[in-house]
């Protein structure tokens, strides 16, 4: 196997219940947010994976997940409610980061 193929196949997957339905893959070039999706337009319960974005570092990746979780199919009745939800999601992700540090 060539060195280039070895680098490309060298992928790490990071999963955590706090990230659901998202998870992160990391390769030599970037972090990628993946989302587990179960189609609602068919009777099939087979999940597929959808790429949600590529990020240069882990911190940016986690911030993007916080935003994705915040915007997931929900309406807010005020800016205050939106910011409170954001702070709650951000806090739970910060707890993940600070485990064992």
Q: What is the DSSP letter of 89?
A: H
Kindly list the domain boundaries of the chain, sorted by start residue.
Answer: 3-97
Helix-, strand-, coil-residue percentages of the chain, each rounded to 5: 45, 25, 35
Q: What is the pLDDT of residues 38-63, one digit of tens each?
A: 777 767 778 888 999 999 998 889 88
> In the structure, what pLDDT confidence band is assigned to residue 93 with cuts at 50, 70 and 90?
confident
> In the structure, what pLDDT confidence band is assigned to residue 70 with cuts at 50, 70 and 90?
confident
The answer to whether residue 10 scores a pLDDT higher than 90 is no
The pLDDT value recorded for residue 78 is 92
pTM: 0.69
């Amino acid at each position: 196997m060539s060195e280039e193929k070895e680098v490309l196949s060298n992928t790490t997957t990071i999963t955590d219940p706090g990230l659901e339905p998202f998870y992160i893959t990391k390769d030599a070039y970037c972090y990628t947010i993946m989302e587990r999706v179960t189609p609602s337009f068919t009777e099939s319960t087979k999940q597929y994976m959808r790429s949600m974005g590529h990020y240069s570092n882990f911190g940016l990746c986690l911030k993007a997940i916080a935003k994705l979780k915040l915007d997931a199919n929900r309406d807010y009745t005020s800016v205050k409610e939106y910011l409170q939800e954001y702070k709650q999601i951000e806090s739970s992700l910060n707890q993940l980061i600070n485990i064992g540090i």
